[in-house]
Structure 1
Amino acid sequence: MATMKDIARIAGVSLSTVSHVVNRSRFVSEEITQRVQKVIDELHYKPSLVARSLKVKETNTIGMIVTASNNPFFAEVVHHVERYCERHNYHLILVNTEANHQSLQKHLERLLLKQVDGLLLMCAEPQDINVEFITEIHLPMVVIDWWQQPLKADIIHENSELGGYLATKALIDAGYTDIAVITGESSKPLTVNRLQGYKRAISEYHLQYRPEWIIESHFHFEGGIEATQQLLALSKRPRAIFAMSDSIAIGVYQALWQAGLQIPQDIAVIGYDNIELAQYLSPPLSTIHQPKARLAKNAVEQLVKRIRDPKIPLNIVQLTPELVKRSSF
């Protein structure tokens, strides 16, 4: 197996020059770089990633923690994260805690043992973790969407208050005035923000505010079913439902079908996230598009910047959601 010493001898350069060409750790003239690269190609030389990581203290590996279980939104974000990591020549190690809060710290410790260069954190469920442990992690970190504990990290998220407003306003513009909302857990900032958007639209259009039409649930299918059944049991039913995630909306569809009701003839529905499945429901689901690809792109690019220069100021990026109108209202 060829070594860097072999390459240096054949190319007629020093060993350190070969190292700088391979690791791109210092400027080397174009002529010498091409000469060294030609020998590398001829010898089919493959640098040892382990040896390189020990010398330059980098592994070109990013760790990602996702605390989600069955919400398709997170799977789609992860897909885009993998794509952008590949573009930047980083390997992604993905850990899904499956909403098991007790395993989060264990998974973080394992990622640190893998000597990852940075961490992407995407939280779906509240986590019980030692705050001192996570604040003592001295690695570049980027939070996608939100994270339970305050961190010294960049944040990439979407304007969820605006998204809640756009969803409610779309129903109002379509002529609906009796609008219920099924939320996620109230402990989550995005739930609070989307509910603020809902309330702002209701107030702005001078509609009657009904507390019984605000049902706190969970961001998954079963939550949508149970919350819709509660709404249908009311003496005065709403004529439209804003589901704070497409997963909730799928549960709404199921509960309405079980009750023999049609969408949108009996009750209109709008979701949130614009997961791929939304367009294939019957009828296709109107929803608020979360820019998943841009969330992933911004998160990966920001993390790579911080890996290369840890001293850059912390950055908070807020992306803008958009209405996707289909046939559910």
Structure 2
Amino acid sequence: MATIKDVAAKAGVSISTVSHVLNRTRKVSDAARTRVEQAVCELNYAPNSVARSLKVNHTRTIGMLVTTSVHPFFAEVVQAVEDLCFELGYSLILCNTENRPERQLMHLRMLLEKRVDGLLVICTDTPPSLTELLHQHPELPLVMLDWSRNNDFADIIHDNADIGGHLAGKYLIEQGHRRFACITGQLHKGTSRLRLDGFTSALAEAGLTLPPDHIIEGDFETDSGYRAMQALLRRRTDATAVFAFSDTMAFGALCAITQAGLRVPRDISVIGYDDVNLARFTSPPLTTISHPKRTLGRWALELLLKRIKEKDHRPEQLELQPRLVVRESVCPPGSRD
């Protein structure tokens, strides 16, 4: 089996140069890099990552706990993290938790055993058991996405959900709507509460209110948006515009409205949240609040790598700013094609 010495000899470079090429730890001339990569290929050299990690006390591996990588929002964040990991020469171990505490704990223990260099957490439910286990490992660099601001042991990135909800309400009011309905996420979640608070504050500024029976609680998934919209239609509310707290729930709402023989936006306007890639391709294309997912993913990893390198790093809180993306699913009430 070829060794790193064999690669260095064949490429005509030092062992340290081979190491820098393989680990992407220092700039190497294009000529030297090409010779090393050729030698690695010809000798079929495979670095012993276990031995290397024991020697240098890092694995160049990042762990990531995510609710589910199937959901479009999480999938786009994960893709951004994975792309940057690849660029920087890191491996990513992705663990889907499905918001189940036992899976969260099992995956976290596994990642600790794998000696990951740091951990990204993007879970919509964070039970005390997981927080307690994280507290027990203060040596593990950690970044949490969209968690409570009341946290003193991890870096946190917020999406300013209240501002996003306010943007949605203000835009619908500017379009002439005065009667609204909301399909929320689970209302015990901070993100849902903030989006609802932002939306109702925009209405209050215009002297408007959101009737309690015009609020249907969903779970951020398409099926719940579909069922919630059906419930709103059965109640025969006079709402001319619906704010869905995620694009996936908005997709379900669009389907329910169409199946009821109504048209979006002529009969009912719909606005979503997140601006996932599929939002551009619904019929009609979905107006939504953009949550910059690729920026979120890249910021999270960059912040984690900073925490890994700076042992005395103090926890930081960064904020993303949502923005309105206007497409074709909202129009003034009473408009005709």
Q: Is the 8 A contact 1:102 1:129 kept in 2?
A: no
Distance 1:134 1:266 in 2: 49
Distance 1:190 1:231 in 2: 22
Q: Pairwise mapping of residues 1-329 of structure 1 onto structure 2 (< 5 A)? A: 1-3=1-3, 18=15, 22=19, 44=40, 47-68=47-68, 70-125=70-125, 127=127, 129-137=129-137, 138-146=139-147, 150=151, 152-329=153-330
Distance 1:293 1:86 in 2: 15
Distance 1:282 1:41 in 2: 49
Q: 3-state DSSP class of the match of 1:63?
A: strand
Q: Is the 8 A contact 1:127 1:148 kept in 2?
A: no
Q: 3-state DSSP class of the match of 1:54?
A: helix
RMSD: 3.0
Aligned length in residues: 322
Q: Which amino acid aligns with 2:168?
A: A
TM-score, length-normalised on structure 2? Answer: 0.85
Distance 2:304 2:204 in 1: 40
Distance 1:276 1:291 in 2: 11
Q: 3-state DSSP class of the match of 1:129?
A: helix
Q: 3-state DSSP class of the match of 1:206?
A: coil
Gaps of 5+ in 2: 331-337
Distance 2:110 2:222 in 1: 31
Instruction: Report the more deviating stretch, 272-281 or 308-317.
Output: 308-317
Q: 3-state DSSP class of the match of 1:327?
A: coil
Distance 1:130 1:169 in 2: 38
TM-score, length-normalised on structure 1? Answer: 0.87
Q: Is the 8 A contact 2:10 2:39 kept in 1?
A: no
1:52-87 Cα shifts (integer Å, max 9, x gaps): 100111110001011237521111111111011112
- Between the aligned residues of both structures, percent identity stands at 44
Gaps of 5+ in 1: none
Distance of aligned partners of 1:307 and 1:20 in 2 relative to their CA distance in 1, 3 Å threshold: farther
Q: Which amino acid aligns with 1:49?
A: S
Distance of aligned partners of 1:128 and 1:101 in 2 relative to their CA distance in 1, 3 Å threshold: farther
Q: Is the 8 A contact 1:49 1:59 kept in 2?
A: yes
Q: Which amino acid aligns with 2:253?
A: V
Q: 3-state DSSP class of the match of 1:86?
A: helix
1:264-321 Cα shifts (integer Å, max 9, x gaps): 1111000000011111000010000110111011001011111111211111110101
Distance 2:237 2:307 in 1: 54
Distance of aligned partners of 1:128 and 1:221 in 2 relative to their CA distance in 1, 3 Å threshold: farther
Q: Is the 8 A contact 1:69 1:99 kept in 2?
A: no
